Amino acid sequence: MKSGVEPLVNDGFAGEPAKRCVGYVQSQREKGKNVVGIYCTYGPLEVVRAAGAVPAVLCAFADKTIAAAEEDLPANLCPLIKSSYGFIKTDTCPFYSLADVVIGETTCDGKKKMFELIAGIKPTHVMDLPQLPDQKEALENWTEMVKKLKGFLETTLKTQISDEAVEAEIQHSNVKNKLLNTILDFAALTPTPLTWQEMYDLTYLGQAASTADMMKVMEDALAKVQKRVADGVFHGQPDSPRVLVTGTPVGGDATKVFKIIEESGGVIVALDLCTGLKPYAGHIEEGAADPYRAISKRYLEIPCACMTPNDRRLSELDRLIEKFKPDAVIDVVLHACHGYSIESTKVKKHIEGKHKLPYLKIETDYSQSDVGQIRTRVAATLEMVHK
Ligand code: BJ8
């Protein structure tokens, strides 16, 4: 990107994405809103917002709290869980401090058991997530869980959640997701006018910010990216290898991988991650007889490796590859995330077999100790891309 090009995201808050998001959540709290901490993309944001509350993502990506967490948790546990727990243990998580209540889901074993350790600190509601999403009972059971969440929020936040409010939030989510995808779809152009940082910033903020608050940010970003295209402004070089990143959530200290891809001459064109496109895919049926069922249906379609089988992950990769035309796929797996790590075998076969693209799996944590090794492997993968 040429110097002097205006940054895409201007939300009025300073700092890197997590800090700006804290600013946003804090501002909502000052307006009298309750704050609901969430740990997962399966957390139904429409119900949280219909309760008049603001969601705050509690998943953490910082190495600095891992040592404190390891006093209680096994060292060979996923860094996302250790980091999140370490922030709570050391009472340094601004999102957790702001939260009135916390929602968790039975995704992986590590998260599930970590919730037990923090449940006594704040009202914590764990939703039983079905893990065989294609079975007919899954939709019934998850709808029941989403309705139970309504009851929990009504009781603990002393509020009422009407069906009309839930329906309105469904419509708001659809509007936000559509516009956000319109912006992110510009990365399908060759060369791309977007940076990974901009895609990450927008999707990070969009989880907390309401559609009304995101509208201005998104309209501004859309106008800027349209101008970049009109002016011939792009990121990287016209022949930079295009990379699709898939896998576990990647944020904070783990964004070292994104930085290495860029330093190695690549450009990231799609983030198939929960810290990227995943929360904004799909559409929730509007005007359904049961809005909770409509929400449940959409959320059960999230292709997380905690599901079995998780064939939607492969069909979603097909869709993204067709749209963003990557030259290589890099699968980032956090240490000790068995679900994503095992699933990598299928993903590799799919990418190399069906799409004939170079595939690289990177297992990493939040430390900087493996930066040199990742750099070498990324460089070798990008060298395989023939331009
Ligand atoms: S929908 S990806 S946010 S569970 S914590 S599973 S990395 S071992 S975060 Fe996730 Fe919801 Fe799925 Fe998305 Fe693995 Fe670590 Fe577990 Fe993790």
Q: Judge whether 208 and 25 are in contact, CB under 8 Å.
A: yes
CA distance 109 to 125: 16
Is the shortest distance between the CB of 340 and ligand 1 below 6 Å?
A: yes
Q: Residue 323: what are its φ and ψ, rounded to 5°?
A: -75, -50
The three-state secondary structure class of 50 is helix
Q: Judge whether 24 and 13 are in contact, CB under 8 Å.
A: yes
Predicted confidence at residue 304, as pLDDT, reads 98
How big, in percent rounded to 5, are the helix, strand and coil portions of the chain? 55, 10, 35
Single-letter code of the amino acid located at 300: L
Predicted confidence at residue 168, as pLDDT, reads 98
Q: Judge whether 146 and 295 are in contact, CB under 8 Å.
A: yes
Q: Residue 204: what are its φ and ψ, rounded to 5°?
A: -65, -50
Cα-to-centroid distance, 121 and ligand 1 (Å): 22
Predicted confidence at residue 308, as pLDDT, reads 98
Predicted confidence at residue 235, as pLDDT, reads 94
Please check the confidence at residue 2 and state whether its pLDDT lies above 60: no
Predicted confidence at residue 339, as pLDDT, reads 98
Residue 369 tokens read as 């100790």
Which residue's CA lies nearest to atom 17 of ligand 1?
Answer: 248
Q: Judge whether 95 and 22 are in contact, CB under 8 Å.
A: yes
Please check the confidence at residue 170 and state whether its pLDDT lies above 80: yes
Predicted confidence at residue 14, as pLDDT, reads 76
Question: What is the per-residue pLDDT across 51-93, written as a single tens digit (0 to 9) for each?
Answer: 999 999 999 999 999 999 999 999 999 999 999 999 999 999 9
Predicted confidence at residue 10, as pLDDT, reads 81
Q: Assign residue 213 a region: left if phi > 0, alpha if psi is -120 to 50, beta otherwise?
A: alpha
Is the shortest distance between the CB of 107 and ligand 1 below 6 Å?
A: yes
Q: Give the up-direction half-sphere exposure of residue 365: CA atoms within 13 A in the CB hemisphere.
A: 17
Measured from the Cα of 304, ligand 1's closest atom is: 12
Cα-to-centroid distance, 80 and ligand 1 (Å): 8
CA distance 327 to 329: 7
Predicted confidence at residue 1, as pLDDT, reads 61
- Burial (CB < 10 A; 0-12, 13-18, 19+), residue 112, is middle
Q: Mind giving me the DSSP string for 276-315?
A: TTGGG-S-PPSS-S-HHHHHHHHHHT---TTSSS-HHHHH
pLDDT-derived band at 387 (thresholds 50, 70, 90) equals low
Question: What is the per-residue pLDDT across 171-204, written as a single tens digit (0 to 9) for each?
Answer: 999 999 999 999 999 999 999 999 999 999 999 9
Q: What percent of the chain has pLDDT over 90?
A: 94
Is the shortest distance between the CB of 207 and ligand 1 below 6 Å?
A: no
Please check the confidence at residue 44 and state whether its pLDDT lies above 90: yes
pLDDT-derived band at 7 (thresholds 50, 70, 90) equals confident
Sign of the Cα torsion 172, 176, 177, 179 reads positive
Is the shortest distance between the CB of 277 and ligand 1 below 6 Å?
A: no
Residues whose CB falls within 8 Å of the CB of residue 80, separated by 6 or more in sequence, listed in order: 59, 60, 61, 248, 249, 334, 337
Q: What percent of the chain has pLDDT over 70?
A: 98
282 versus 259: the higher-pLDDT residue is 259
Structural domains of the chain sorted by starting position, each given as residue range(s) with its CATH number in brackets: 17-161 (3.40.50.11890), 165-385 (3.40.50.11900)
Predicted confidence at residue 4, as pLDDT, reads 60
Give the pLDDT mean for 2-20.
78
Please check the confidence at residue 261 and state whether its pLDDT lies above 60: yes
Q: Give the residue, out of 59, 108, 128, with the most ligand 1 atoms within 8 A of its beta carbon, to mutate for a pocket test.
A: 108
pLDDT-derived band at 3 (thresholds 50, 70, 90) equals low
Question: What is the per-residue pLDDT across 115-167, written as a single tens digit (0 to 9) for each?
Answer: 999 999 999 999 999 999 999 999 999 999 999 999 999 999 999 999 999 99
Question: What is the per-residue pLDDT across 89-106, written as a single tens digit (0 to 9) for each?
Answer: 999 999 999 999 999 999
Predicted confidence at residue 17, as pLDDT, reads 86
Q: Mind giving me the DSSP string for 54-110?
A: EEEE-----GGGHHHHTTTS-TTS-HHHHHHHHHHHTT--HHHHH-SEEEEE--SHH
Question: What is the per-residue pLDDT across 300-357, written as a single tens digit (0 to 9) for each?
Answer: 999 999 999 999 999 999 999 999 999 999 999 999 999 999 999 999 999 999 999 9
The DSSP bridge partners found for residue 245 are 271, 330
